[in-house]
Amino acid sequence: MLKKLFQSFRSPLRRTQHIRSTPEVLNSNQHSLQRAQFSRYAVNIVERLQNAGYQAYLVGGCVRDMLLNITPKDFDVATSATPEQIRAEFRNARIIGRRFKLVHIHFGREIIEVATFRAGHPQNDEEEDTNQSSRNESGRILRDNVYGTLEEDAQRRDFTINALYYDPVSERILDYANGVHDIRNHLIRLIGDPVKRYQEDPVRMLRAVRFAAKLDFGIEKHTAAPIRELAPMLREIPSARLFEEVLKLFLSGYAADTFEMLVDLQLFDPLFPASAEALEHNPTYTHTLISEALINTDLRIKQNKPVTPAFLFAALLWPALPKRVLRLQDRGMPPIPAMQEAAHELIAEQCQRIAIPKRFTMPIREIWDMQERLPRRSGKRADLLLDNPRFRAGYDFLLLRESAGEQTDGLGEWWTAYQDANDSERRDMIRDLAGKGDGIGEGPKKRRRSGTKRKRSAADASGAAGE
């Protein structure tokens, strides 16, 4: 199941140093890349910087993805020019960032990111200029604006497959870290000592998983080895940054595989502690519900359908919620207030780890709140719920819960039929509930997996909250 993680164990590899001061140069007849494949704006930037006397290359993910016949989502440029020098060359340029100063050059809706070559950080604290570079006590980099040479820039990049520089003018690839070799062998390998590199930036552990899932690569064994021990360092990462990283993990079309690897490498716990606890105490249900939600999300992305983080986070956190609701109900709180209070508590705790914006936390709570309201269908309640703007998301979430094995006494099937029924049929369905206590309190029964009425596919679930 975790072939990506253990792929590298099939053939033992020597732990070799993958850094060199002179690159392997691949001429145009030694690789498949052509300048016409890249963004014309990015190529134009490289040419203009070179004509101005600077070194400049297309770098990183766009080069890697092109070698793998994947369409890059963006095009980055690395150069010897400083941010101020870049801005002087391009009137449409903006300097952004403090921790890692970059330049964004705007061409309509397309933005090309240009970074100055970076060097490694001084090892001696006395040599460190806090205006350019700084670390905390554990070695995590807090500021990274130490400029350097092309060779130094290659050495400080995270993975070998991202340390590739393409010159669209000469159509040559400069490979400083055997990145082309690792692309051919489908391996994710850190440059340098893995422990030190993870300590510099623990998010690199998440990036290793994301690239392995996206590219269907294995994680090289020395790169994977320290992750479980160092995973708690993710708790030091600002919650706002982790929100962005989690979106990249789960909204790139490979969320199901990513989840499996996060759990196996013990990276899921520092991201979602309450859900990790639920996974430990109720593994089958929790794993099934989250996996179903992520599989549906991946499918929607592949079908170019909209997805929303709200539904995704609602699914990731839901397994931790029922226990809290029951605890509040045991104290005498009614079901709906108990749901609302437990939801507020759980989301507040989660936001300490991952800063989920309010524009998503509100829909999360509304989706959960619908789970208590959907069983209450007597009188005009069903029609009022049907008109609720969150009904579709709540209904889809109900189907997700049922697909994970929750017993809802056929509630999802009832709502599926109710949506398809005419007014007369709906009135009959409401009358039929009168002798059943509004559908509450009936004995559990297994969900029918086939019949005359079939539920709308739960594959539409993960996008419904945004519709």
Residues with catalytic roles: 74, 76, 158
How are beta strands 24-26 and 172-175 bridged, if at all?
antiparallel
Q: Which residues of 213-250 are buried (b: 16+ CB within 10 A; e: fewer)?
A: bbbebbbbbbbbebbeebbebbeebeeeebbebbeebb
H/E stretch holding 176: none
The 3-state DSSP class for residue 408 equals coil
Question: What does the alpha-carbon distance between residue 202 and residue 136 come to, in Å, rounded to a whole number?
Answer: 12
The label of the residue with tokens 């207030």 reads 337
Q: Are 203 and 94 a contacting pair, CB within 8 Å? A: no
| Residue 343 CB neighbour total at 10 angstroms | 23
152: nearest Cα among 193, 116, 190, 98: 116
Dihedral over Cα of 401, 404, 406, 412: its sign: positive
Residues in the chain: 467
| Greatest distance between any 2 Cα atoms in the chain | 84
Q: Which residues contact 12 (CB under 8 A, 6 or more apart)?
A: none
Annotate 99-121 with DSSP letters as a single string: SS-EEEEEETTEEEEEEE-B-PP
- Percent helix, strand and coil across the chain, each to the nearest 5: 55, 10, 35
Using the 8-state DSSP alphabet, how is residue 252 labeled? S
Would you state the structure tokens that stand for residue 452, as one six-digit string? 């005359």
Helix 335-353 vs helix 358-373: crossing angle, to nearest 10? 150
The 3-state DSSP class for residue 225 equals coil
The 3-state DSSP class for residue 173 equals strand
Question: How far is CA 271 from its chain centroid?
Answer: 11
